[in-house]
Amino acid sequence: MWLPVFLLFVLLGMGRAGDMKQKWEARERACMEMAGIYSELHGRVSAVEESEGKVQITLEENVVRPLAGGGEGQSFSMSRQIPCVLVSWKTDATEDMPDARDFKIGSNVTVRGKLELCARARNPGEFDSRSYYRGQGVDCRMYGEEVEIAGGDVSPLPELLRQIREKAKQNIMRSAAAEDAGIFSAAVLGDKKALDSEIRDLYQKNGIAHLLAISGLHLSIIGMGGYKLLRKAGLGYKGAGLAGAAFIFCYGAMTGGSPSVVRAVVMMSTGFLASYLGRTYDLLSALSLALLMLVWETPELLTQGGVQLSFGAVFAVGGVLPVIQDYLGKGRKILGALAVSAAIQLVTLPVILWDFFQFPVYGIFLNLLVIPLMGGVICSGIGTALLGGISYKAGALAAGTGHYILRFYEWLCHGTERLPYHTLVMGRPAAAAVILYYMVLLLVLIGMKRAVGKRDEAEKEREEVKEKKEVKEREEVKRGIEGDEIIEMAEKSRPIWLRKALFFCICVFLPCILMPGPVDGMEILFLDVGQGDGILLRSGRGAMLIDGGSTSEKKLGEYRLEPCLKSCGVSVIEYAFVSHGDLDHISGVRYLLESCEEIEIRNLLLPCQGREDDALLSLAELARARGTKVSLIEAGDSFYMDGIGVTCLYPGISDLPADKNEESEVLKVDYGNCHILFTGDMSGEGELRLLSALSEKPGVLSEIQILKTAHHGSRFSSGETFLDALGVKWAVISYAEGNSYGHPHKEVLERLGDRSVKIYGTAERGAITMKTDGKRVRWKAFLD
């Protein structure tokens, strides 16, 4: 009976997913056709946000028409329908641009500007904006150069909810302390724009960032609190349920309607309905209904970490926790609380590592302390939002309780960070490891279930033996006692302490399945850093970094370099080579030393001719403050790590480069019979100097098979004489698409092409990975 129903739903899901895929492909084609063209967009406002001098509106039901000229002298007659576009602009761009207060939900807007596709992830570990916004139903973005409000019918309820939210936010910002206002706004209103980035990072590193998102915890406090008050006031199940459902629906819509909010609203409404019908509320059934409602419209949500964590945590409480509790038996409240945290961690750990690459070791214990107090924070935030509109003093008084709880949270987090092994950078686990992890977890739960069943059978048999004791015959009593002794011995074979010990071992050793293994051979990752350089070398469990900077990506370290390193499981960089002091080679390295505590650089190696460079001197000072050993290297210096040999070929102490680019470190990397050359930003003149310096050792360059081309493919580098001296088969060029320098120049591409060199460019193909066992070489591009 159930199998055909299950198969039917599987077929329906597959059909729906295929249908939605075709629709999204058509929407993406329309966006690609219009991207980069100066256009006029007509749409209806569905959301408005403003923060830090920037307005962002979400427009639906859009018609996009290219304008004649378009900045390129072309004329277009086509138009396209694009369902959802994010439009943003700076409020101080011009005096004529409207601000957020000028817009109403439902009003029509005309915008002129250029459509942009949402950015794809271009490196391992990088956040994929395109996938995220697709899950939100957003097709593309536009920076508004001209914005006009064209009337239209205002949507009364959504606009009223937006105004309530804005008023509540104003009250919070006015009455609460600056460090508390952002948290209140996030936890009560779902608005994270004012949230301090340091607080967000602190909570995330300690595994309590879920407190900042509207979820079931928040709605249960707000929604269930109101429902119980209505019931106590004498309202029936029907009236209280309808009122409660209407309230949480409006509250969920006001806070932005994120997937976790929708899940909580659906599940709570299902609970109200169950109470009205006199039926038992089944958590897993309500969870499944919420998931079905979400993914039916947007299947892409299944790939988003936030959705996986939200549903995974609830599934852990409803499906896994009862098995664990039955296995451990009755115990103290602290044991029950630990079981809840452990169940959630066991289910969500692969998701956490897949999306965040690191695990807060003490998060399971920290949550035991912070979650019970979160009700005080939410009530304090609600009180501030309500009373702040009456008077500043009333709002500030309401914020007091939350203020002290939040300070306690910070004290706990900072104290936890001082403990050893606070955060484990484990990297993104392999898909096979995740599958194996969940299979083993399932087998463990089945084993627990069977153990509980056997224990229940033994208990039942023991009760039967006790009944036999009432029989007067001595032999039967004796047999009953013997049977009771047998049962008691069986029970004592696995006492409660042993079950707890086994469960503890499961919690400790099961995550080991997700631990990254050593790199087999040598792997070189040429990161796509835009206009700059960044190369990660790994072998065994060791890692090296050659440069790490960009001029086109202003937050390279935060958004690309750090996530990439963590996704690879790199927490220690044995050697960080910096070719020279230009920003496009050091900005990310500087971030790692300045702001990234989870990644340690043990040795910073700078070019000997850069000892007077202010940028390198500043970098060295930062490194020493972090406990990093700083060395100046010159031609002839060699370094070794897990089979990788790195030799500095240039410059030497006696070399006198003309400028920064000419003082670039030139490094030769050897692994078995694989040889790679890294030349920094060296120009043709420097290449000739290098050839001259190695004239007595021609074999050093002739065995080079892979060239990291100098200066991002500048015409003044990779000269013919230099290329002829190498045995290059492959070349990697790191540059930003559409850069103002024209890199890579046509002449360089022609010189490489004339020598049958296969070229890999980061702008077209994203990060480039080269793997070798010392004999054969394999290539893979991230965007392929």
CATH architecture of 520-781: 4-Layer Sandwich (3.60)
| DSSP output for 505-571 | HHHHHGGGGGSPPPEEEEEEEE---SSEEEEEEEEETEEEEEEEEESS-TTHIIIIIHHHHHHTT--
What confidence tier does 489 reach under pLDDT thresholds 50, 70, 90? very low
Q: Tokens 């009593």 label which residue?
A: 477
Residue 491: predicted pLDDT: 46
Task: Provide the 3-class DSSP secondary structure of residue 399.
Answer: helix
**Tokens representing residue 530 in the block:** 């835009």
Q: Is the pLDDT of residue 191 over 80?
A: yes
Residue 473: predicted pLDDT: 52
**Tokens representing residue 308 in the block:** 């996986």
Question: Which is it for the CA torsion 69, 70, 76, 81, positive or negative?
Answer: negative
Higher pLDDT, 92 or 58: 58
CA distance 144 to 140: 13
Amino acid found at 233: A
- How many C-beta atoms surround the C-beta of residue 233 within 10 A? 9
The stretch 590-617 carries a mean pLDDT of 93
The stretch 373-391 carries a mean pLDDT of 91
Strand residue runs (E) in 316-468? 358-360, 423-425
Write out pLDDT tens, residues 461-475: 777 777 766 655 555
CA distance 769 to 766: 10
Q: Is the pLDDT of residue 566 over 90?
A: yes
Write out the residue limits of the CATH 3.60.15.10 domain(s) in the chain. 520-781
CA distance 647 to 640: 9
Most confident of 179-193, 214-228, 248-262, 664-678: 664-678
Residue 651 preceded by cis peptide, ω within 30: yes
Q: What is the 3-state secondary structure (H, E, C) of 51-65?
A: ECCEEEEEEEEEEEE
Write out pLDDT tens, residues 707-733: 999 999 999 999 999 999 998 999 999
Write out pLDDT tens, residues 271-301: 888 888 888 899 999 999 999 999 888 888 8
Q: Is the pLDDT of residue 72 over 60?
A: no
Question: What b/e sequence results for 143-154 when a residue is b if at least 16 CB atoms lie within 10 Å of its CB, and e otherwise?
Answer: ebeebeeeeeee
**What is the residue-averaged pLDDT of the chain?**
88
| H or E element, residue 606 | strand 600-607
Strand residue runs (E) in 212-315? none
CA distance 437 to 653: 54
**Angle, to 10 degrees, between the axis of helix 283-297 and the axis of helix 259-277?**
130
Q: Tokens 């075709």 label which residue?
A: 22
The stretch 30-57 carries a mean pLDDT of 90
- How many C-beta atoms surround the C-beta of residue 615 within 10 A? 18
Task: Provide the 3-class DSSP secondary structure of residue 732.
Answer: strand
Residue 490: predicted pLDDT: 45
The stretch 39-62 carries a mean pLDDT of 90
**Tokens representing residue 430 in the block:** 């392999």
Q: Is the pLDDT of residue 762 over 90?
A: yes
Write out pLDDT tens, residues 415-459: 999 998 889 999 999 999 999 999 999 999 999 999 888 888 877
Residue 93: predicted pLDDT: 63
Contacts 24+ apart (CB under 8 A), 286-294: 287/263, 287/311, 287/314, 287/315, 287/318, 290/262, 290/263, 290/266, 291/263, 293/262, 293/266, 294/259, 294/262, 294/263
- How many C-beta atoms surround the C-beta of residue 614 within 10 A? 9
CATH architecture of 22-154: Beta Barrel (2.40)
CA distance 225 to 222: 5
Q: Is the pLDDT of residue 512 over 60?
A: yes
Write out pLDDT tens, residues 305-321: 989 999 999 999 999 99
pTM: 0.90
What confidence tier does 75 reach under pLDDT thresholds 50, 70, 90? very low
CA distance 671 to 674: 5
Write out pLDDT tens, residues 192-241: 888 888 899 999 899 998 888 887 777 887 777 777 888 888 788 788 88
Residue 216: predicted pLDDT: 75
Length of the chain: 784
Q: Residue 87: left if φ>0, alpha if ψ -120 to 50, beta else—which one?
A: beta
CA distance 479 to 489: 15
Q: Is the pLDDT of residue 73 over 50?
A: no
Could you tell me if 384 and 399 are in contact, meaning their C-beta atoms sit under 8 angstroms apart?
yes
Write out the residue limits of the CATH 2.40.50.140 domain(s) in the chain. 22-154
β-strands 768-772, 644-650 pairing: unpaired
Residue 172: predicted pLDDT: 94
CA distance 629 to 418: 23
Q: Phi and psi (nearest 5°) for 753?
A: -65, -40
The stretch 145-159 carries a mean pLDDT of 88
CA angle 111, 114, 119 (to 5 degrees): 120
CA distance 350 to 356: 10
Q: Count how many Cα atoms sit within 13 Å of the Cα of residue 93 in the half-sphere of its side chain.
A: 15
Q: Tokens 């709002």 label which residue?
A: 395
Residue 595: predicted pLDDT: 92
Write out pLDDT tens, residues 240-254: 888 888 888 999 899
Nearest to 103 by CA among 84, 120, 87: 87
Residue 487: predicted pLDDT: 46
Residue 68: predicted pLDDT: 64
Q: Is the pLDDT of residue 504 over 90?
A: no
Residue 495 preceded by cis peptide, ω within 30: no
Higher pLDDT, 344 or 660: 344
Q: Tokens 């996986």 label which residue?
A: 308
Task: Provide the 3-class DSSP secondary structure of residue 430.
Answer: coil
Q: What does DSSP assign to residue 223?
A: I
- pLDDT above 70 coverage of the chain, percent: 94
What confidence tier does 492 reach under pLDDT thresholds 50, 70, 90? very low
CA distance 201 to 356: 12
Residue 277: predicted pLDDT: 87
Q: Residue 728: left if φ>0, alpha if ψ -120 to 50, beta else—which one?
A: beta
Write out pLDDT tens, residues 295-308: 888 888 888 998 99
Strand partners, 142: 87, 115
Residue 69: predicted pLDDT: 53
Nearest to 130 by CA among 772, 770, 774, 766: 766
CA distance 139 to 30: 9
Q: Is the pLDDT of residue 94 over 70?
A: no
The stretch 479-505 carries a mean pLDDT of 62
Could you tell me if 205 and 423 are in contact, meaning their C-beta atoms sit under 8 angstroms apart?
yes
Could you tell me if 314 and 263 are in contact, meaning their C-beta atoms sit under 8 angstroms apart?
yes
Residue 90: predicted pLDDT: 87
